[in-house]
Amino acid sequence: MAAVKTLKKALRKELAGRLKLVTSEVTQKESKIVTEKLLGSNEYRNSKSVSVYISMDGEINTREVIRNIFDTQKACYVPRFMGSATMTMVKLNSWEDFLSLPVNNWNIPEPPADQVREDALDKQGLDLIIVPGVGFDVAGNRIGHGRGYYDRYMQQCEEWAANNNRQPPKTVALALREQIVEVGRIPLEPTDRKPDVILTPDEEIRAK
């Protein structure tokens, strides 16, 4: 297992180097294409309660996704990190609420820990989780930033759905071209979870 973690660390470093070379113009262009694919997907159109990551450099920009969630009157939830192991999804109340969020240590807007906000799993649960990642392959595998937040959260949502007689949320990942690697390059662990769908500027990858 230690060897797998070492290989993952090396791949993350390689991908970080690749993504630093992607210009803001390319990121903007690819984000527009992928956002249009997401907003037109059945997974998104059929959802009423959506969690979405707030993007940073080297990721598909989710700003227009967040705006559309409010425009279409869906419920919008974003990550809040509680220590090194726990992530919850808490509700944003409006576009203005999103714009007012302070930034965290990673320079990403995040609801402060001391703010009282509705948790997605306190009430209706989620229909859709929009998932970030560092890298993906065409077999549907994903490598994240190494803390396991989303793998654990997807598992938690499945358990919540089973206990509440609900369908588990759909999971859709968004990827830039430079985040796609050859099959076999992503080291896998038993706790790794595949998103249901990965959307890239070129294709729609469905988990097998």
Q: What is the pLDDT of residues 146-177, one digit of tens each?
A: 889 999 999 999 999 999 999 999 999 999 99
Edge-first strand listing for the sheet containing 197-199:
86-92, 75-82, 49-52, 128-131, 170-174, 197-199, 204-206
What residue numbers bound the domain in which 186 lies?
Answer: 2-206
Which residues fall in the annotated binding site? 8-12, 54, 59, 142-150
pLDDT, residue 1, reads 62
Per-position b or e across 41-58, b if 16+ CB within 10 A of its CB? bebbeebebbbbbbbeeb
Beta-carbon contacts of residue 37 (< 8 Å; ≥ 6 apart): 199, 204
Which residues fall in the annotated binding site for substrate? 54, 59
How would residue 2 be classed by pLDDT, with cut points 50, 70 and 90?
A: confident
The CATH number that applies at residue 65 is 3.40.50.10420
pLDDT, residue 206, reads 94
For 32, 37, 130, the CA distances from 169, given in Å and listed in that order, are 24, 19, 10
| Range 61-87 average pLDDT | 94
Which residues fall in the annotated binding site for ATP? 8-12, 142-150
Please count the structural domains in the chain. Answer: 1
